[in-house]
């Protein structure tokens, strides 16, 4: 919800899962590259979402993956 509002304004949609974020970045959902996103308190997200398990049991860094997806989608960012 917060990402949707940051990108598309109040009540804006930008997906509910990481795969859908990819779709929103590639589709026509209000977002047009390039854009800049300021993610305040990204360190808090890193603290509370440090590692998760994929369905195959492998660990990955969810915050880093979200930042990577956004960057690959043409979004510039400041992640503080």
What would the pLDDT profile of 18-56 be if each residue is shown by its tens digit?
Answer: 887 888 777 766 677 778 888 888 888 888 776 666 777
pLDDT at 56: 79
pTM: 0.69
pLDDT at 1: 65
pLDDT at 30: 65
- How would you write 17-52 as a 3-class SS string? CHHHHHHHHHCCCCCCCCEEEEECCHHHHHHHCCCE
Bridge partners of 35, per DSSP, are: 75
User: What confidence tens digit (pLDDT) does each residue in 2-20 have?
Assistant: 777 877 778 877 777 788 7
pLDDT at 12: 79
Its sign, for the CA torsion 48, 63, 26, 11, is positive
Encoding tokens for residue 21?
A: 């974020």
């Amino acid at each position: 919800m917060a990402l949707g509002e940051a990108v598309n304004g109040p009540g804006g949609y930008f997906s509910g899962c990481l795969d859908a974020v990819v779709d929103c970045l590639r589709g026509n959902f209000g977002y047009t590259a390039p854009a800049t996103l300021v993610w305040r308190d990204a360190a808090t997200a890193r603290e509370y979402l440090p590692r998760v398990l994929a369905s195959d049991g492998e660990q990955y860094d969810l915050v880093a993956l979200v930042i990577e997806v956004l960057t690959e989608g043409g979004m510039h960012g400041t992640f503080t």
